[in-house]
Chain A
């Protein structure tokens, strides 16, 4: 009996110890424990991400008028192919997605280099350049709508002050300028974020490599081209892909500044989805769901392709 008791005690000790280890190491945790810990996050994910996504795909096969829904198969997708405004929105969104990130990252890198090189008032400039990141899109949009105002906007006032009256323009009212104007506004807002990331990356570069380049009489230009930018490549790529994904969904700034106008010149896929869902005197969510579904797939595919194209398997050794 005592032996049996000792065995029981040892067994229960072992179980307790296994249980403690399983809690400490999730890889050893039982499925019940895993389920308990994952359930809250899974519930939130399912309720706020997965369900809306699947529901959007589901709705895209229906026409929904008020509370009535009728199955239309692929009709919404067929209509989409022939929708001129959709293709304008796609073109504009692709311009946003491929061009604007270059501007964002390049501006951030230049600002970071300026700080790294020790420009006067660097501390003040670091804060000043980062401040727009903290502003909401509404504030930024209104601020730049004032800057772009034809009559009294600071941009045109400055142009007129230096005798360049002919260059003064209705920046947001001209279809040839509106998209570029909104892209510049967006770059201004996010330059500070890219600057901070680039600056951190520059500071983490190995000093011996930079010093070696200086010993080899490498000038600033060469150092930037052959040393700094190549070593920052992973950071810059990450920033570009992040910016790319953000731009594929761009909405807020465009909606506040131009609502997609003039003449659809700044229409993006997101603003078009919103218009079709809320501004077209209809309650039909089927067609906008079809646009959202197509664009969801395009964004996913683009990110995979970009990762493949721009990513590198070569690891830098230093």
Chain B
């Protein structure tokens, strides 16, 4: 009996000490973030990780910044083999991760009250929320106030040109040797379609635009053809740079506010991620005369005040993570109104996290005031085309609407036929 008691005591002591050791042992989670070349966003993420590590000594984070396309490719391979990081960057336009069962619902980890109500649906499925929507954005039409004035166009008090006025702006810019619209599709699948699709939204209104994106309305609809004809006129008038096919997103920023300079720049409001970097890091010059106008109002358009709102950069948890406690705690510490406020102040961009407008500290107050003024009466439509398009339809959008049509390689009829062939539900 004596020996047995001693044995039990040794076993208990060993179990307790190993448990204590496990408790004391630091767990490291891995986290992949986008934005390696956007200093403000990179700093925000790094600061959140440092704060988390300072408050959670038992958890450490191995943080990597990887370009977006590479994250998607790597994550697609990694989840299949169970090698994905505990937390990774994702946008709602990659629904296959959720459909494939690779994302962990965050309801039990994150305080959902800290997320904006309009942001949750982008990451919701079957009543659960799967992503922390850090970044939200609207699609904006930035312009160079001085150059637009120089070519002889006065932006009205409504900040919205008509179809004819915008065509006139393009023609005047081209005649003056100034590129009217800085845009390139060298490394992105969407920018070439922005002008056309924002115009289609304003022409069709939210309901019919949703039908178009869901394949329930033909691209041969007379209203769609009318808008496409107008965009074709812009293209033929020389709206886009000749280097449109190879110009990368980062380069199109530089093209707009440095060399050679352009009149306008359609870009989601994540514009600030690059533009508000130091000029020596490729950012916008301090004295750049930046203005924000509304996308043109379409003739007999159903909804001139419509604009696209979307969720961008978000963070998700891998469903097979072995460190869900630390990963959950990390996401919880990130998803707070304080951090939403900091994001808006530091990155100058909207957030799907709740925020306190009164506490925003930003050196870009003027910019914010202008952005808020443009969005004041906006009627939001949720999601860009690639959030709706899938598979062959998405590929056709990328090749046709993003690239060939704005590059002037296809007629309106050809482009409409290709889109209907790939997207229209029979």
Which interface class (under 10, 10 to 19, 20 to 34, 35 or more) fits A? 20 to 34
B422 vs chain A, min Cβ distance (A):
10
- Whether A283 touches B403, Cβ cut-off 8 Å, given contacts A172-B245, A275-B395, is no
B245 lies within 8 A of A173 (CB): yes
* B-contact 0/1 string along A142-164, CB 8 Å cutoff: 00010011110000000000000
B244 lies within 8 A of A283 (CB): no
A67 lies within 8 A of B100 (CB): yes
Contact of B399 among A145, A261, A278, A281 (CB under 8 A): A261
Kindly state whether residue A38 has any CB partner on chain B within 8 Å: no
B407 lies within 8 A of A173 (CB): yes
- Interface-central residue, B77, B391, B395, B407, by most chain A CB under 10 Å: B395
A65 lies within 8 A of B99 (CB): yes
Contact of A263 among B243, B391, B399 (CB under 8 A): B399
B246 lies within 8 A of A145 (CB): yes
Kindly state whether residue B94 has any CB partner on chain A within 8 Å: yes
- Whether A262 touches B102, Cβ cut-off 8 Å, given contacts A278-B73, A283-B76, is no
- Interface-central residue, B77, B243, B390, B403, by most chain A CB under 10 Å: B243
Contact of B391 among A170, A173, A175, A282 (CB under 8 A): A282
- Whether A281 touches B407, Cβ cut-off 8 Å, given contacts A150-B243, A173-B245, A262-B245, is no
Kindly state whether residue B410 has any CB partner on chain A within 8 Å: yes
A170 lies within 8 A of B80 (CB): no
Kindly state whether residue B412 has any CB partner on chain A within 8 Å: no
A149 lies within 8 A of B99 (CB): no
- Whether A283 touches B100, Cβ cut-off 8 Å, given contacts A175-B409, A263-B399, A278-B76, is yes
Which interface class (under 10, 10 to 19, 20 to 34, 35 or more) fits B? 20 to 34
Contact of A173 among B100, B244, B392, B395 (CB under 8 A): B244
- Whether A67 touches B394, Cβ cut-off 8 Å, given contacts A150-B243, A170-B243, A283-B76, is no
Residues of the B chain whose Cβ atoms lie less than 8 Å from the Cβ of A213:
none
* A-contact 0/1 string along B60-81, CB 8 Å cutoff: 0000000000001100110010
A172 vs chain B, min Cβ distance (A):
5
Contact of B241 among A145, A151, A172, A175 (CB under 8 A): A151
In whole angstroms, what is the CA distance A87 to B404 when docked? 19
A281 lies within 8 A of B390 (CB): yes
Within 8 A of B (CB), among A228-272: 258, 260-264
Residues of the A chain whose Cβ atoms lie less than 8 Å from the Cβ of B7:
none
A281 lies within 8 A of B94 (CB): yes
- Interface-central residue, A145, A261, A280, by most chain B CB under 10 Å: A261
- Whether A281 touches B243, Cβ cut-off 8 Å, given contacts A66-B102, A263-B404, is no
B403 lies within 8 A of A67 (CB): no
A263 lies within 8 A of B400 (CB): yes
Residues of the A chain whose Cβ atoms lie less than 8 Å from the Cβ of B410:
263
A181 vs chain B, min Cβ distance (A):
11
Sample of 7 more A-B contacts, CB < 8 Å, known A261-B403, A275-B395, A278-B77: A85-B395, A173-B244, A263-B403, A263-B409, A280-B392, A281-B93, A281-B391
Interface residues of B (CB under 8 A from A): 72-73, 76-77, 80, 93-96, 99-102, 186, 241-246, 260, 390-392, 394-395, 398-400, 403-404, 407, 409-410
- 13 A-B pairs within 8 Å (CB atoms) are namely A66-B99, A66-B102, A145-B246, A151-B260, A175-B409, A258-B245, A261-B399, A262-B409, A278-B76, A278-B77, A279-B395, A282-B391, A283-B76
